[in-house]
């Protein structure tokens, strides 16, 4: 129940701020009023969206809340609408199953990475020694 009131209040704040900002006599005072109303609307929408987040993000409410607020505040009106629509789509669309853990597979014919680096170091050293052992080409001076 409180979420629906928060959503209506956020929508009213955002609409009122945009209406005041687009008035023909808009000045610095209207801009400040819009920014305050926009910040309050973003804070209310952040409070609404936090419980809808996946469990791994709900464990860090401060960082998640700051991220949601910043995303909404940086993109006026469209950021809030896009974030709410994205959250609702993510909640109601079917999920893919990702229960298979990642495992590292090694081939029995591969060398270990340490032996490969040792081999490369010795071959590079031998190639450098062969390069240094070559006599210099005579110059025609």
Domain-embedded: residue 35: yes
pLDDT at 71: 86
pLDDT at 100: 60
**Which residue segment(s) compose the domain that 79 sits in?**
2-92
Domain-embedded: residue 10: yes
Q: Helices (DSSP H) in 1-141: which residue ranges?
A: 2-21, 28-49, 55-58, 61-74, 78-92, 113-133
Domain-embedded: residue 16: yes
Domain-embedded: residue 129: no
Q: How far apart (Å, rounded) are the C-alpha atoms in residues 87 and 49? A: 8
Domain-embedded: residue 132: no
Domain-embedded: residue 140: no
Total domains in the fold of the chain = 1
> Where does residue 104 fall: left (phi above 0), alpha (psi -120 to 50 degrees), or beta otherwise?
beta
pTM: 0.59
Q: How far apart (Å, rounded) are the C-alpha atoms in residues 74 and 35? A: 11
Q: What is the pLDDT of residues 40-79, one digit of tens each?
A: 988 988 888 888 887 877 888 899 889 889 888 888 777 8
Domain-embedded: residue 103: no
Domain-embedded: residue 136: no
Q: What is the pLDDT of residues 78-112, one digit of tens each?
A: 787 788 788 878 778 776 666 566 666 555 555 55
């Amino acid at each position: 129940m409180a979420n629906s009131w928060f959503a209506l209040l956020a929508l009213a704040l955002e609409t009122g701020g945009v209406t005041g900002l687009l008035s023909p006599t808009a000045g610095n005072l209207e801009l400040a009023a819009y920014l305050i109303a926009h910040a309050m609307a973003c804070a209310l929408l952040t409070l609404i969206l936090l419980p809808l987040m996946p469990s791994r993000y709900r464990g860090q409410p401060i960082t998640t809340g700051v991220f949601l607020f910043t995303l909404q505040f940086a993109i006026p009106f469209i950021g809030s609408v896009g974030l709410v629509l994205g959250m609702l789509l993510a909640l109601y669309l079917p999920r893919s199953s990702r229960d298979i853990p990642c495992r590292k597979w090694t081939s029995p014919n591969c060398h270990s990475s340490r032996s490969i680096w040792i081999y490369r170091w010795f071959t590079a050293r031998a190639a450098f020694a062969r390069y240094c052992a070559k006599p210099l080409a005579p110059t025609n001076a």
